[in-house]
């Protein structure tokens, strides 16, 4: 099983009990676990981390015990977010990429840095918390997993920035992540517990500092949004987990208000149930793949970012002939496009709407003045390649299930969804008329 599928299905407690004698003690005769017993819940977390990630964990009894599948799913999403927005444009894991992440409020477990590092050897983390006891345990978990060189814990305090890049001496990072305190007050927490008609799903051993923050999770993430406006591209992806559907709505609306144009949302599904969401935003122009940015079946369309993929079908019999037709269309335009037959994929960049009537007329005039090859050299020499492209795209070709060739255009770079839409429309019109 690939590690991405590790927790796709419900956990098999009986199988885990066979592999972990310490957990076996807590397995009930019906093959289930007593989730109201904090010791059983803690052992489940420890046994999963050991079996699936070779990680050792020590936890106090009076702090949160993280459910592993949910935390792992968040890490997987961050991996995908980075992999599909890297400047190699491969959309795949680059094992040589050095990545630095910040875990805001790492908790006693330090679970995100531990799992993140176990999965990706080139990842490093800074991990903050305002709670001294959490940090004491986090330090010990870092050192007993031999991660002292890769994970740096920092004590912060409530009034300090949540993303304190200057204070922790980091010029820039690739991402930050956070599982913020959920409730807005202790009363809110007690009310929520009392309102549950059945026993809580899992024993909650969280201390107030972990569960409660003024304004709840929305206020916490709003602080991150405000800080991100100042930090800008010093962090490529700002992300947070959210525990309430209504919080996702508020946060996406606030991102709109802050004029963020590049964001991503994802359902964190455990087994068959959605319990949490993740939201990420970037001030940069690299666009994540559709599955990463719109990875949700629970949110309405108006909360989702503009689709980064557009698919249509050509009445062509082979991928090669479609590729030639596309090459010819794009070669006539003032843009860079490279097709790689072995991958049946092309990558292109345009500095603006170079397919408009006016731009094509200008290009045709230029072409008549110089031969195509000389023109290409001339373009490379005059520095147009240095201009930041307004649009980056990939074109994937494949045989469609119903015959014909499937053309999938993926938006890989740019801030202007109208430009991407216009490019897709132009290509589709030319290829399907």
Ligand X SMILES: C[S@@+](CC[C@H](N)C(=O)[O-])C[C@H]1O[C@@H](n2cnc3c(N)ncnc32)[C@H](O)[C@@H]1O
Site of interaction with ligand X (CB under 6 A): 64, 66, 71, 104-107, 109, 111-112, 128-131, 134, 156, 158, 162, 179, 181, 209-210, 213
Closer residue to ligand X in complex, CB, 219/359: 219
Least distance to ligand X, CB of residue 124, Å: 17
> What SS3 state is found at 256?
helix
Closer residue to ligand X in complex, CB, 67/389: 67
Closer residue to ligand X in complex, CB, 29/246: 246
Helix axes 319-331, 417-432, angle to 10 degrees: 120
Closer residue to ligand X in complex, CB, 217/316: 217
Least distance to ligand X, CB of residue 394, Å: 34
Q: Residue holding tokens 């132009």?
A: 426
DSSP symbols for 176-187: EEE----BSSHH
Please name every residue paired with 101 in a beta bridge, in sequence order, or none if there are none. Answer: 125, 175
Closer residue to ligand X in complex, CB, 240/289: 240
Q: What values do phi and psi take at 241, rounded to 5?
A: -85, 150
Tell me the C-alpha distance between 7 and 290, whole Å. Answer: 22
Tell me the C-alpha distance between 293 and 248, whole Å. Answer: 14
Least distance to ligand X, CB of residue 233, Å: 23
Nearest to 106 by CA among 80, 77, 76, 141: 141
Contact 427, 409 (CB under 8 A): yes
Least distance to ligand X, CB of residue 211, Å: 7
Closer residue to ligand X in complex, CB, 71/266: 71
Closer residue to ligand X in complex, CB, 86/213: 213
Q: Are strands 123-129 and 99-104 parallel, antiparallel or unpaired?
A: parallel
Contact 105, 178 (CB under 8 A): yes
Closer residue to ligand X in complex, CB, 68/431: 68
Least distance to ligand X, CB of residue 146, Å: 21
Q: Token digits for 410?
A: 């993926």
Least distance to ligand X, CB of residue 284, Å: 24
Least distance to ligand X, CB of residue 235, Å: 16
| Positions of E strands within 182-298 | 235-242, 262-270, 273-282, 294-295
Closer residue to ligand X in complex, CB, 101/181: 181
Least distance to ligand X, CB of residue 180, Å: 6
Least distance to ligand X, CB of residue 6, Å: 18
Least distance to ligand X, CB of residue 220, Å: 7
> What SS3 state is found at 162?
coil
Nearest to 294 by CA among 254, 232, 248: 248
**DSSP state for residue 234 in the 8-state scheme:** G
Closer residue to ligand X in complex, CB, 182/283: 182
CA distances from 360 to 151, 204, 334, 365, 369 (A): 53, 64, 8, 8, 14
Q: Are strands 405-413 and 309-314 parallel, antiparallel or unpaired?
A: antiparallel
Least distance to ligand X, CB of residue 157, Å: 8
Closer residue to ligand X in complex, CB, 134/296: 134
- Residue with nearest beta carbon to ligand X: 105
Tell me the C-alpha distance between 401 and 200, whole Å. Answer: 47
Contact 257, 222 (CB under 8 A): no
Long-range contacts of 321-326, Cβ-Cβ distance < 8 Å, separation of 24 or more = 322/397, 322/405, 322/407, 322/431, 323/397, 325/431, 326/395, 326/397, 326/407, 326/427, 326/431
């Amino acid at each position: 099983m690939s590690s991405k599928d590790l927790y796709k299905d419900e956990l098999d407690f009986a199988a885990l009990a066979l592999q972990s004698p310490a957990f076996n003690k807590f397995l009930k005769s019906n093959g289930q676990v007593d989730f109201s017993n904090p010791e059983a819940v803690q052992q489940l977390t420890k046994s999963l981390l050991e079996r699936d990630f070779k990680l050792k964990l020590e936890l106090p009894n009076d702090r949160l015990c993280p459910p592993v599948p949910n935390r792992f799913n968040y890490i997987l999403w961050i991996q995908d977010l980075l992999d599909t927005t890297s400047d190699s444009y491969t959309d795949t894991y680059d094992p040589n990429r050095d990545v630095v992440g910040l875990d805001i409020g790492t908790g006693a477990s330090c679970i995100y840095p531990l799992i993140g590092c176990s999965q990706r050897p080139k990842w490093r983390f800074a991990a903050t918390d305002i709670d001294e006891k959490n940090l004491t345990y986090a330090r010990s978990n870092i050192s007993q997993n031999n991660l002292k060189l890769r994970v740096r814990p920092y004590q912060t305090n409530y009034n300090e920035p949540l993303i304190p890049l200057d204070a922790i001496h980091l010029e820039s990072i690739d991402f930050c992540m956070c599982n913020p305190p959920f409730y807005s007050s202790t009363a809110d927490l007690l009310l929520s517990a009392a309102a549950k008609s059945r026993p809580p799903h899992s024993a909650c051993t969280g201390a107030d500092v972990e569960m409660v923050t003024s304004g709840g999770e929305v206020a916490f993430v709003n602080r991150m949004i405000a800080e991100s406006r100042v930090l800008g591209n010093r962090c490529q992806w700002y992300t947070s987990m959210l525990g309430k559907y209504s919080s996702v709505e508020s946060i996406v609306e606030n991102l709109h208000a802050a004029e963020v144009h590049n964001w991503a949302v994802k359902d964190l599904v455990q087994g068959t149930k959605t319990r949490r969401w993740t939201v990420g935003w970037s001030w940069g122009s690299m666009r994540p793949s559709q599955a990463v940015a719109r990875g949700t079946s629970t949110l309405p369309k108006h909360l989702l970012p503009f689709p980064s993929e557009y698919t249509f079908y050509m009445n062509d019999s082979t991928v090669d002939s479609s590729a030639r037709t596309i090459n010819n269309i794009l070669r006539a335009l003032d843009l860079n496009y490279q097709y790689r037959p072995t991958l049946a994929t092309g990558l292109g960049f345009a500095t603006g709407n170079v397919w408009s009537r006016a731009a094509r007329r200008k290009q045709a005039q230029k072409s008549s003045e110089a031969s195509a090859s000389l023109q290409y050299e001339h373009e490379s020499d005059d520095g147009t390649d240095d201009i930041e492209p307004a649009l980056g795209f990939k074109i994937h070709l494949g045989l469609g299930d119903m015959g014909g060739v499937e053309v999938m255009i993926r938006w890989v770079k740019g801030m202007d969804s109208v430009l991407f839409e216009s490019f897709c429309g132009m290509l589709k019109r030319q290829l399907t008329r």
